[in-house]
Amino acid sequence: MISRKALLLRLALICSLYFGLLYFGGIWGWRLLYPIRLFVTFLHEFGHAFGALISGGSVEYIRINPDSGGATVTRGGSQALIISGGYLGSVFFGNILVFIGAAKPKWVKPTLGVIMTILAFSGLIWFNSVFTFLTLAAFAAFLYFAGFKTRYGRDCLLVLGVLSLLYILQDTAHGPSSDLQAFEMEIGLFPAGIWMVLWLSLALILAAVNLKVLMRSPRPPDRN
């Protein structure tokens, strides 16, 4: 298990690398972060799909675009859960990856197996384009190599989780505008801008609670 000091150092290193590549990496920084953007897009679209499934709906397809955009088409289910599942689902999944990567080493391979299964199912059953299929297949292959052929499966989950959360929270500056507008039309009560503040607040609270739990969890020194 990762010690508190080692965890903080890793988090600081991941954040530093992310913002360094983002703001000072130029075209190479953009290229290195491109897979992360695609992964976050998948988490977002899968969040929509998951919202449909748990509310009794079905998924027609998931599409990931080369420009890192995406789309999910569903039938039935709760529109409120489906719409909010994109942003809030991404936050939830990202926090799970961070928690398991930091505190649950025995869960790493099973978690990677679940993610690979979801990627394979989405790529084979729900895909809507060749790019989507190839992207999800590449992610599944990478996770298999990192988790089952090296010792870095835990670090892989931690990096993917942290970078996903950073990207999601940073994207709030622009906001998932189409989701917010659809949510405003579906639920009402508040304008889209207020819903964005509420979603962002919930995202920050979840991340803060997750970090607090990780800092409190007793663990032996990291020997890796």
| pLDDT exceeds 50 at position 224 | no
Q: What is the pLDDT of residues 26-49, one digit of tens each?
A: 899 889 999 988 998 898 899 999
The pLDDT of residue 166 is: 86
58-64 and 70-75 strand pairing: antiparallel
The pLDDT of residue 187 is: 78
Question: Average pLDDT of 80-108?
Answer: 89
Q: What is the pLDDT of residues 174-204, one digit of tens each?
A: 556 677 777 778 777 778 778 788 888 888 8
DSSP H helices, the chain, are 4-24, 26-54, 79-103, 108-121, 130-148, 153-170, 177-187, 192-216
Closest CA to 86 of 178, 22, 216, 15: 178
The pLDDT mean for the chain works out to: 86
Residue listed under structure tokens 């998932």: 176
Q: What is the pLDDT of residues 125-181, one digit of tens each?
A: 988 889 999 999 999 999 999 888 888 888 899 999 998 888 877 776 555 667 777
| Residue 127: strand, helix, or coil | strand
Closest CA to 4 of 195, 196, 220: 220
Query: Considering the chain, what percentage of its residues have pLDDT values greater than 70?
Result: 92
